[in-house]
Amino acid sequence: MGKDRRKFLKQLVGISSVAGFSGFSTLSYAASAKAQIQNIRLSRNNGFVRLVFDLDRSIQHTVFSLHKPERVVLDLKNADMLHGLVDMIQANSLIRGIRSGIQNGHDLRVVFDLYDQVTPRSFLLGPAGDAGHRLVLDLHGLEASEKNTAKTDHVKTAPQKVLRDVIIAIDPGHGGKDPGATGRSGTHEKTITLQLARKLEKLINAQKGMKAVLTRKDDRFLKLRERIAVATKNNADMMISLHADSFPDPRARGSSVYALSIGGASSETARMLAKNENASDMLFGDSSLAVDDAMVNEVLFDLSMTGNIQSSLDIGDEILRQIGTVNHVHKKVVQQAGFAVLKVPNTPSVLLEAAFLSNPREEKNLRSSAHQQKMARAISRGVNSYFLRKAPPGTWLSEAVTDYKVKSGDSLSVIAHKYNTSVEALRSRNALQSNNLNTGQILKIPVS
Ligand SMILES: [Zn+2]
């Protein structure tokens, strides 16, 4: 891409590089000039919460409420939003969470999950002073508004709506002619990653609303591109690539979680491991992805990945936190490096180095089925924690799970009985490590 063109594109989407959030599809952006939500501001006023959406042009919109659970839905015609923007809005006493998704390929839907019933009011404002086009959405608490004069469309939730599963792509690293790292006792990385992947697959599939897909189910070689294609083809909501590498220093130990970095690596270990992983592909297969730095440098590619990386870091955090309960953690924060396998368009992706095969003690652990199971459980808890907060719209997890506030004297078995579910299901759904509950704690309960 020429310098001038890159500069032009940068200007075109300048705001997103400033904000550091983006994630709109490059294709749809190029194909049609969509209205962009560039910022969302929230203010609390007497009796209502005001949300101001800063837009780059005027927009057509509709607002309506849904009940049980209480929600307000904002539909914006032919619009897009910088990825990660909704995450910047803090939950408050009224708004429990905000989700967004693209509808009909070009419209934007923003869903506000609320603690209480509200009356939404919205209006548009044209440019004035320093401000551009704005859409204002006021959420009035019912007490503060006249209940009878609400002009809102009340739509019932359609019970027959088909809700999809959250799809988790699991990628056991290496395979076939590429054994990956080899430990002193002769353990191949490709064997460990597949065993761990199988255990994780079982745990994910045991949970309602979640489905695992594996990039490989046996000992076969896959190019990095083919691994990415499995995630893309299955519309995965995230991908986790599993590894257990070696390092020159046998004392190196512990688990690390990686997300893609467009720029430099966050540590020397990260840089070296990424080089090793990418080299597998160059040694054994398709080198184009691993070495094609030009692709990484494309401005648009860069921008479409930025939003992904934010989500990847978020998922990575959750997984790392859970892994920390079962294994030593090599680096306490999610590391970033240019792993080629993490370049999955529009899909947050993380790479887990479960442990170092080059460390004799860790090699022993990695071979242990019990230890693998502990690790798989921890990963599953991390994945759950993330998707409980960020279930994509239209998934069972986003629609069929409700909040339950623990009362004093509650126990998991009593709650499970009351909601016709099991203690095990509640524990895995809520990433609980024990049966202990705290009064006031919020549990996610399936309501189907
Ligand atoms: Zn590896």
Q: What is the pLDDT of residue 219?
A: 97
CA dihedral sign, ordered 66, 67, 71, 72? positive
Q: What is the pLDDT of residue 12?
A: 34
Give the confidence band of 283 by pLDDT, cuts at 50, 70, 90.
low
pLDDT, tens digit, for every residue of 346-405? 789 999 999 999 999 999 999 999 999 999 999 999 999 899 888 888 888 877 777 788
CATH number of 32-153: 2.60.40.3500
The position carrying tokens 């608490």 is 141
pLDDT, tens digit, for every residue of 203-240? 999 988 899 999 999 999 998 888 989 998 999 999 99
Q: Report which of 145, 193, 152, 138 is spatially closest to residue 170, judged by C-alpha positions.
A: 193
Residue 238's SS3 state is strand
CA dihedral sign, ordered 176, 265, 324, 359? positive
DSSP state of 151: -
Give me ligand 1 centre to Cα 359, in Å: 14
Phi, psi of 311 (to 5 degrees): -65, -40
Give me ligand 1 centre to Cα 282, in Å: 13
Q: What percent of the chain has pLDDT over 90?
A: 30
First and final C-alpha spacing in the chain: 51
Give the confidence band of 15 by pLDDT, cuts at 50, 70, 90.
very low
Taking the complete model, does pTM exceed 0.85, yes or no?
no
- CA 23 remoteness from chain centre: 12
Give me ligand 1 centre to Cα 147, in Å: 60
Burial, 290: exposed, middle or buried (Cβ in 10 Å; 0-12, 13-18, 19+)? Answer: buried
Report the topology of domain 166-389: Aminopeptidase (3.40.630)
d(CA 192, CA 195): 5
Give me ligand 1 centre to Cα 353, in Å: 7
Give me ligand 1 centre to Cα 251, in Å: 18
In whole angstroms, how far apart are CA 418 and each of 93, 397, 445? 27, 19, 10
Give me ligand 1 centre to Cα 280, in Å: 8
Give me ligand 1 centre to Cα 187, in Å: 13
Give me ligand 1 centre to Cα 218, in Å: 16
237 residue type, one letter? D
Which pair of structure tokens corresponds to residue 420?
């016709």
Give me ligand 1 centre to Cα 25, in Å: 30
Q: What is the pLDDT of residue 252?
A: 86
Give me ligand 1 centre to Cα 301, in Å: 25
Q: Report which of 157, 41, 48, 148 is spatially closest to residue 94, judged by C-alpha positions.
A: 48
Give me ligand 1 centre to Cα 352, in Å: 9
Phi, psi of 140 (to 5 degrees): -90, 130
51 residue type, one letter? L
Give me ligand 1 centre to Cα 215, in Å: 15
C-beta separation of 95 from 89 below 8 A: yes
Give me ligand 1 centre to Cα 184, in Å: 16
d(CA 375, CA 303): 33
CA dihedral sign, ordered 387, 388, 394, 400? positive
- Got the DSSP string for 170-188? EEE--BTTB---B-TT--B
- The mean pLDDT of 102-119, rounded to a whole number, is 84
Give me ligand 1 centre to Cα 125, in Å: 53
Q: Is the pLDDT of residue 296 over 50?
A: no
Ranges of each domain in the chain? 32-153, 166-389, 400-446
pLDDT, tens digit, for every residue of 407-432? 888 999 988 888 778 888 888 778 78
Give the confidence band of 174 by pLDDT, cuts at 50, 70, 90.
very high
Q: Report which of 348, 323, 362, 319 is spatially closest to residue 192, judged by C-alpha positions.
A: 362
Q: What is the pLDDT of residue 131?
A: 75
In whole angstroms, how far apart are CA 353 and each of 36, 172, 228, 290, 397? 38, 11, 18, 19, 28
Residue 158 CB neighbour total at 10 angstroms: 8
Report the topology of domain 400-446: Membrane-bound Lytic Murein Transglycosylase D; Chain A (3.10.350)
Beta-carbon contacts of residue 369 (< 8 Å; ≥ 6 apart):
195
Q: What is the pLDDT of residue 150?
A: 38
Q: What percent of the chain has pLDDT over 70?
A: 76
55 residue type, one letter? L
Q: Report which of 173, 144, 327 is spatially closest to residue 246, judged by C-alpha positions.
A: 173
Q: Which residues of 169-186 are buried (b: 16+ CB within 10 A; e: fewer)?
A: bbbbbbbeebbbbbbeee
C-beta separation of 424 from 438 below 8 A: no
Give me ligand 1 centre to Cα 190, in Å: 8
What are the E-state strand segments in 1-47?
35-45
What is the chain's Cα-based Rg? 23
